[in-house]
Amino acid sequence: MAAGEVVLWEADDKSMRMVPRLQRMGVTAGLLCLLGLLMWSASHATWALYAGALYLLGEIAHWAWDRRRLVEAHIVPGEADGPARLRLRRVGGRITEHDAHRVARVLVIYDNVHNLARLRLSLRGRPLLFGRPGLPPALTTWQQACPRAQVDDRSAHWGMPGVPD
């Protein structure tokens, strides 16, 4: 982190998670092949091919969506005393910089089960950006960094596990 940078968001897990994904895909493919071979004698094995293809498409779609999620958000001073810039880093490693005044809305969703928070960041003229779970940030830092943004927080929709009081 360079001098003058302020951390706005930092995810707990910044990795691509490729090893668990490949293990999950290998186990699923092996089980589908085994079930397909067992069902081959009755010639009803085509469902295994369709299930495998659908699973593979779902896994590819999740991987593509996960690569675009945010893992870091920093506010960096502008060049030559210019306006501050918002530096966003995604899971795939892509780093983009945006004007801090283009941030339209910041929503932090607190998870009351795991003491983590999720980030929803909306930039003017861009699609909604999702952040991986991380430690809850200070909302005052977001308000100071992005003065034109609507900064909100809310609790998650799910409750605590166990018996309610």
Query: How many structural domains compose the chain?
Result: 2
What is the rounded distance in angstroms from the CA atom of residue 124 to the CA atom of residue 128?
Answer: 9
Q: Is the residue at 50 inside a domain?
A: yes
Residue pair 97/86 in contact (Cβ under 8 Å)? The answer is: yes
pLDDT of residue 25: 84
160 domain residue, yes or no? no
Assign 18 a pLDDT band (cuts: 50, 70, 90). Answer: confident
* Cα distance between residue 46 and residue 90, in whole Å: 39
Q: 96 and 37: one domain?
A: no
Residue 28 is assigned to a structural domain of this protein: yes
- Reply yes or no on whether the pLDDT at 141 is more than 80: yes
Position 99 in a domain: yes
Domain shared by 62 and 75, yes or no: no
**What was the pLDDT predicted at 34?**
80
Query: Residue 150's domain spans which residues?
Result: 6-13+71-155
CATH number where 75 lies:
2.30.29
Residue 24: inside a domain = yes
Tell me, yes or no, if the pTM score tops 0.85: no
* Position 163 in a domain: no
- Provide the pLDDT for residue 70: 92
- Whether 165 has a pLDDT exceeding 70, the answer reads no
Same domain, 145 and 76: yes
| pLDDT tens readout for residues 101-137 | 899 999 999 987 778 899 999 999 888 999 999 998 8
- Please work out, in degrees rounded to the nearest 5, the angle formed at the alpha carbon of residue 14 by the alpha carbons of 8 and 20: 155
At 93 the pLDDT is 87
DSSP H or E segment with residue 142: helix 139-145
| pLDDT digit string, tens, across residues 57-107 | 888 898 888 888 999 999 988 777 777 889 999 998 899 999 988 999 999
